[in-house]
Chains A and B, each alone.
Chain A
Amino acid sequence: MIPELGHYALVLALVMALAQASLPMVGAARGIRPWMQLAKPAALAQFAFVAFAFLALMQAFASSDFSVAIVTQHSHSEQPLIYRLSATWGNHEGSLLLWVLILTIFGALVALFGENLPPRLKARTLSIQAMISVGFLLFMLLTSNPFARLNPAPVEGDELNPLLQDPGLAMHPPMLYLGYVGFSIVFSFAVAALIDGKVDAAWARWVRPWCLLSWTTLTGGIVLGSWWAYNELGWGGWWFWDPVENASFMPWLIGTALLHSALVVEKRDALKSWTLLLSILTFGFSLLGTFLVRSGIITSVHSFATDPTRGVFILALLAIAIGVPLALYALRAPTLRGGGLFAPLSREGALVMNNLLLAVMTASVLFGTLYPLMLELTTGNTISVGGPFYMATFGIFALPLLILMAIGPFMGWKRGDVRGALQRLIAAGICALGAAIIAVWIRSDGPLLAPLGILVGVWLLVGTVIEFMERIRLFEGNPARIWNRARHMPRAAYGMSLAHFGLAVAVIGMTGAAAWKTENLTVLQPGQTLTLQGYDFKLESVQGIRGENYLADQAHFVVSRDGDFVADLYPERRQYLVQPMPTTEAAIRSMPLADLYAVIGEPDGKGGWIVRVYHEPLVGWIWFGALIMVAGGLTSLSDRRYRVGAPVRAGAAQAAKA
């Protein structure tokens, strides 16, 4: 009964979305106030219906209602509750419903909190948001119904893929979608502005918090995915340049560029048409990601089961959703008047460089991702594009970007003093050089990019701290005055410092983990020891254990260094109930400067076991740095200026309400 209601709710949501997509838009064009005002209740109703449908689906999973097809395909009655619930989005149809839910959440949020928005802009924005909803709701109802039933209902389900039965991965899709789909509202704002024919500082102000929220959650979502891979996949890897990973990374890169260029629109009324373009493209990359995952065009660890009709539908969605706004852009953008002037060497100039580098980095990733497909379609040959290509292009472009990031905040608007900035950063330069030299001295193995990565990472780290210290004038006056200055610094400034600092930490972590990871593998009998980087891993025993829905071989390693105890590690090799493939659960010991990582493999039939151990320096800094970045984003979001929005002059507001 409930699944039927859920299905019906989706149809009602579609009806609401159709109304919301059409009437407010016409209302805004013709000045029909009631039609414009229809957007708010329609958005809220749409959200309510989709939320109901989502809860209905979750209920079906929680109660193991195997009459619903996807519950049978992706769940099992003995699965722990958290994974029965997360299975709701661990499949194509359910995750699509989550996608639409978040789409409607953002629409509802703008409807609720956008009281200060000019009515036409608000109406048009919500209308476009609804158009996207219509597209995806149609897609769901016509090709990917989450509530499809099985009759007769099976007695038991097929079980969620064991790889997905992990807390990190349970949260990865919701967070990722909050980011991915969050940029849809920025997209809608941009298209509304294009229709309006006006982009100004006020528009940038409205857009900024949504941009920040999406960026922050996307950062969190991507890192959660990486963290999961590191914990779950069994060889200490955390990024594979897999097409779908890239598909989530590209919106992040462009979203970061957007965040910074919107700043220039807001402060200096410049870079307008570029910012509009980025707004459209960021969500465009999100849609591209959706297409890559769900159409079956590229096989990837992330691909859902493929079906040709789905692919065509999404391609059509993609083409229309990106094509029409870009056509509008080609028409309208040239008429936008440029704003404030600035010298190339200024904060605006630095932000332009930032955007340039980020755009080229995104293009590199796009190239690498799509090239095998393009080559295959034209010549029939297949090649692989992996780490080496991306490091040579993306990695190289990232270096000047990170160097610039420390200098930019020192530059003034309109005209900046580069030499002055560099003088203040001398300490950062010395630290960076020192760190790079120490890095080469401690670990002379590894690629050239490694000490360079440390160099720019430490440069940015110290540079950000120096900038912060200068801003609160740390060495002037008594502590009370300093504290006062710190307290009154706008939250957005804290956000920037935190975010840049976090990125620096993460970059140092990524450099260490990628460049200096070492491994050792062999066959061990219980009682034997394996050594790596001075750590001794002694295999004490291997025993069979039972988990909630799996059987496993669990090994016990005692790790010591120079005879001193370091850790107990219990890696497992699990066999889940239904899925035939065994999965490894690595045992990880995190230390401040490195992780120790142990994996148990197959038995050799003679009482021994294949074991692998890894030493991965600085990998924990990646997660820590990302956390700081997210904290920075949230701090910026909490800045009152963004929540209040640009003030509307009282007289005009009165006239508007009349």
Chain B
Amino acid sequence: MRRLVFLLPIAIVAILVAIFWVGLDPERDKSVLPSALVGKTAPVVDLPGLADGAQRLTLGQFKGQLVAINFFASWCLPCRAEHPLLEQITAEFGVPVIGVAWKDKPEASRAFLQELGDPYVATGADRNGRTGIDFGITGVPETFLVGADGTVLYRFAGPLSPEGLRNELAPAIAEAKQ
């Protein structure tokens, strides 16, 4: 019995090493906080349109189809970097993209889209940022995939990159279409 007690330290260390070994798995992405919304119904979106006199933006308009929602802002530098890739989501994968300008002055957002092109099927202005927080964003840009039934399927935090699009968003889209 006494001998068993002496084995306790090495047993604990062995367990810890095993845990660390699993934790080192390169597949594990430690930097991104998993979204609390994946698998849940998307929050209500009801925002004024970006253009003057445009109709309000709601998610209900897109019920029945798979859509992507992209949160962006004109003052956000990484948003500029990812912008060209947003068109690809529609062009290559056939998924319409909704744009939500987060904490941005509408004139500035409009100027931003005019300068870089408007890849969005609809846009809205989230001036006080609450819709973004409802989606649990950690900043801009952030892109969500919302299913036909209104469930949040996937969240991509940070600017899209060609690899990110190919390796992460594309499979999520493929899975959603099944």
Decide whether A and B are members of one complex.
yes
Given contacts A323-B17, A382-B34, contact A373 B23 (CB under 8 A): yes
Residue in A closest to B20 when the chains form the complex, CB atoms: A315
B10: chain A residues at CB < 8 Å are 323, 326-327, 329-330
Q: B14's closest neighbor in chain A, by CB?
A: A323
Which of A308, A333, A370 is B19 in contact with, Cβ under 8 Å? A370
Contacts of B20 in A (CB 8 A): 291, 295, 297, 315, 318
A426 contacts B by Cβ under 8 Å = no
What is the chain A residue whose CB lies nearest that of B3?
A334
* Chain B interface residue bracket vs A: 20 to 34
**In the complex, are the beta carbons of B19 and A374 less than 8 A apart?**
yes
Assembly CA distance A651 to B17 (angstroms): 48
A residues 143-190 near B (Cβ < 8 Å) are none
Contact, CB under 8 Å: B30 / A308: no
Question: Which chain B residues border A280 with CB–CB below 8 Å?
Answer: 9
Whether B13 sits at the interface, judged by CB under 8 Å, is yes
What is the predominant secondary structure among interface residues of chain A facing chain B?
helix
How far is the CB of A528 from the nearest CB of chain B, in Å? Answer: 27
Complex-state Cα separation, A95 to B34, whole angstroms: 32
Cross-chain contact B24 with A326 (CB below 8 angstroms)? no
The answer to whether A330 touches B19, judged by C-beta atoms less than 8 angstroms apart, is no
Asked if B7 is an interface residue, CB under 8 A from chain A, the answer is yes
Contacts of B9 in A (CB 8 A): 277, 280-281, 326, 329-330
Separation of A218 and B103 alpha carbons in the complex (Å): 46
CB distance from A580 to the nearest CB of B (A): 10
Out of A296, A326, A370, name the residue touching B13 (CB < 8 Å).
Answer: A326
Contacts of B116 in A (CB 8 A): none
Given contacts A308-B24, A382-B33, contact A329 B6 (CB under 8 A): yes
- Tell me which of B2, B22, B34 contacts A377 (CB under 8 A): B22
> Is B167's beta carbon under 8 Å from chain A?
no
Per-residue interface assignment for chain A, residues 295 to 312, with 1 indicating a CB less than 8 Å from any chain B CB and 0 otherwise: 111110000000010011
Bitwise, B50-86 to A at CB < 8 A (1) or not (0) is 0000000000000000000000000000000000000
Whole-angstrom distance between the alpha carbons of A297 and B33 in the complex? Answer: 14
Contact A323 B13, beta carbon cutoff 8 Å: yes
Interface size range on A against B: 20 to 34
- A330-B17 in contact (CB<8A): no
B17 with A308: CB separation less than 8 A: no
Q: Nearest chain-B residue to A312 (Cβ)?
A: B24
Q: Within the assembled complex, what's the spacing in Å between the Cα atoms of A380 and B28?
A: 10
Q: When chains A and B are docked, how far (Å) is the Cα of A334 from the Cα of B23?
A: 34
Q: State whether the Cβ of B31 lies closer than 8 Å to any Cβ in chain A.
A: yes
The answer to whether A315 touches B7, judged by C-beta atoms less than 8 angstroms apart, is: no
A319 at the interface (CB under 8 A from B): yes
Query: Does B162 interact with chain A (Cβ within 8 Å)?
Result: no
Q: Does A322 contact B (CB under 8 A)?
A: yes
Q: Which of A299, A315, A318, A377 contacts B31 (CB 8 A)?
A: A299
- Give min CB distance, B71 to chain A, whole Å: 21
Task: Check A318–B24 contact: CB distance below 8 A.
Answer: no
Looking at A329, A330, A373, the one whose CB has the most chain B CB atoms below 10 A away is A330
Q: Are B30 and A319 in contact (CB under 8 A)?
A: no
A135 to chain B, nearest CB (A): 15
Contacting residues, chain B, for A380 (C-beta < 8 A) = 34
Choice from A318, A322, A377 contacting B23 with Cβ under 8 Å: A377
Minimum Cβ distance to chain B for residue A184 (Å): 17
User: Which residues of A, 332-359, contact B by the 8 Å Cβ criterion?
Assistant: 333-334
Q: For the complex formed, measure the closest distance between the CB of A371 and the CB atoms of chain B, giving whole angstroms.
A: 11
- Residue of A with least CB distance to B12: A326
Partner of A334, one of B6, B14, B26, B34: B6
* Chain B contacts for A281, CB-based, 8 A: 9
A 57-95 binary contact with B (CB < 8 Å = 1; else 0): 000000000000000000000000000000000000000
Which residues of the partner chain A approach B22 to less than 8 Å between Cβ atoms? 377
**Nearest neighbor of B24 in chain A, beta-carbon distance:** A311
Chain A residue at minimal CB-CB distance from B19: A374
- Centre residue among B3, B13, B34 by max chain A CB count within 10 A: B13
Collect the chain A residues with CB atoms within 8 Å of residue B3's CB.
Answer: 330, 334
Q: Mark A263-299, 1 if CB is under 8 A from B, else 0.
A: 0000000000100010011001000000100011111
Residues of B21-59 at the interface with A, using a CB-CB cut-off of 8 Å, are 21-24, 26, 30-31, 33-34
Q: Give chain B residues whose Cβ lies under 8 Å from the Cβ of A297.
A: 20, 23-24, 30
Name which residue of chain A comes closest to B15, CB basis: A374
Instruction: Contact check, A330 vs B6: say whether CB atoms are below 8 A apart.
Output: yes
Contact A333 B6 (CB under 8 A): yes
Cβ B13 vs Cβ A377 within 8 A? no
B6 surroundings in chain A (CB, below 8 A): 273, 329-330, 333-334
Contact yes or no, B13 A334, CB < 8 A: no
Contact between A318 and B17 (Cβ–Cβ < 8 Å)?
yes
With known contacts A377-B19, A380-B34, A330–B7 Cβ distance under 8 A: yes
Residues on B with beta carbons closer than 8 Å to the beta carbon of A284: 13
Distance of A329 Cα from B24 Cα, bound (Å) = 28
User: With A and B bound together, what is the CA distance between A318 and B14 in angstroms?
Assistant: 11
Give complex CA distance A574, B9 in Å: 49
- What's the nearest-Cβ distance from chain B to residue A582, in Å? 15
Distance to closest chain B CB from A237 (angstroms): 22
Give A311 to B23 CA distance when docked, in angstroms. Answer: 10
The chain B residue sitting closest to A580, CB to CB, is: B77
Residues of chain A with a CB closer than 8 A to B17's CB:
315, 318-319, 323
Question: How far in angstroms is the closest Cβ of chain B from A140?
Answer: 19
Q: Which residue of B lies closest to A374 (CB)?
A: B19
Closest to B17 in A: A319
CB of B48 to closest CB in A, whole Å: 24
CB<8 Å pairs between A and B, sample of 6: A273-B6, A299-B31, A315-B24, A329-B9, A333-B6, A373-B23
Q: Closest 10 CB pairs between A and B? A: A326-B10, A330-B6, A311-B24, A297-B23, A319-B17, A308-B26, A330-B7, A326-B9, A299-B30, A333-B6
Seed contacts A318-B17, A322-B13; 15 additional CB < 8 Å A-B pairs: A295-B20, A297-B24, A297-B30, A299-B30, A308-B24, A308-B26, A311-B24, A315-B17, A315-B20, A318-B20, A326-B9, A330-B3, A373-B19, A373-B23, A382-B34
